[in-house]
A and B are shown apart, each in its own frame.
Chain A
Amino acid sequence: MKVDRGPRIALRTVALVYLGLLLVLPVGLILYRTFEDGIGAFWDQISTPASISAISLTLEIVAIVVPLNVVFGVFVALALVRGRFRGRGIVQAIVDLPFAVSPVIVGVSLILLWGTDGWFGGVADAGFQIIFSLPGMVLATIFVTLPFVVREVEPVLHEIGNEQEQAASTLGADRWQTFWRITLPSIRWGLAYGIVLTIARALGEFGAVSVVSAGASGESETLTLLVANRFEDLNLPGSYAAATVLMGFALVALILMSLFEYRSKRA
Chain B
Amino acid sequence: MIAAENVEKHYGDFHALRDVSIEIPDGSLTALLGPSGSGKSTLLRVIAGLEVPDSGAVVISGEDVTHTSPQKRGIGFVFQHYAAFKHMTVRDNVAFGLKIRKRGKDEIARRVDELLEIVGLAGYQTRYPSQLSGGQRQRMALARALAVEPQVLLLDEPFGALDAKVREDLRTWLRRLHDDVHVTTVLVTHDQEEAMDVADRIAVMSEGRIEQVGSPRELYDTPQTEFVMSFLGPTATLRGEVVRPHDLVLSHEKIDDGVAVIIERVVHLGFEVRVELLDEAGERVTAQTTRGRAAELGLYPGQALFVRTARPDQIPAL
- A residues near B (Cβ < 8 Å) are 160, 163-164, 166-174, 177, 181-182, 185-186, 188, 267
* Cross-chain contact A163 with B148 (CB below 8 angstroms): no
From residue 67 to 102 of chain B, which have CB atoms closer than 8 A to chain A?
Answer: 69-73, 75-77, 79, 81, 83-87, 96-97, 100-101
In the bound complex, CA of A76 to CA of B96 (Å): 27
- 3 smallest CB-CB distances across A and B, nearest first, come from A171-B97, A163-B83, A167-B83
Instruction: List B contacts of A173 (CB < 8 A).
Output: 71, 96, 100
A166 → chain B closest CB, angstroms: 6
B48 CB within 8 Å of chain A: yes
Interface of A is mostly: helix
In the bound complex, CA of A170 to CA of B153 (Å): 11
In the bound complex, CA of A185 to CA of B97 (Å): 17
* Cross-chain contact B48 with A171 (CB below 8 angstroms): no
A-B contact pairs, 22 of them (CB 8 A): A160-B86, A163-B79, A163-B81, A163-B83, A164-B83, A164-B86, A166-B50, A166-B77, A166-B79, A167-B83, A167-B144, A169-B50, A170-B49, A170-B77, A170-B145, A171-B76, A171-B97, A171-B147, A173-B71, A173-B96, A173-B100, A186-B87
Instruction: List A contacts of B70 (CB < 8 A).
Output: 166, 169-170
In the bound complex, CA of A171 to CA of B85 (Å): 12
B94 → chain A closest CB, angstroms: 10
In the bound complex, CA of A166 to CA of B49 (Å): 10
A122 → chain B closest CB, angstroms: 45
Instruction: List A contacts of B87 (CB < 8 A).
Output: 185-186, 188, 267
Instruction: List A contacts of B148 (CB < 8 A).
Output: 171-172
In the bound complex, CA of A224 to CA of B96 (Å): 48
* Cross-chain contact B77 with A174 (CB below 8 angstroms): no
In the bound complex, CA of A211 to CA of B71 (Å): 52
B188 → chain A closest CB, angstroms: 15
A185 → chain B closest CB, angstroms: 4
In the bound complex, CA of A166 to CA of B85 (Å): 11
* Cross-chain contact A167 with B77 (CB below 8 angstroms): yes
Given contacts A172-B97, A186-B86, 13 further A-B contacts (CB under 8 A): A167-B83, A167-B141, A168-B85, A170-B48, A170-B50, A170-B76, A171-B100, A171-B145, A171-B147, A172-B72, A173-B100, A177-B100, A185-B87
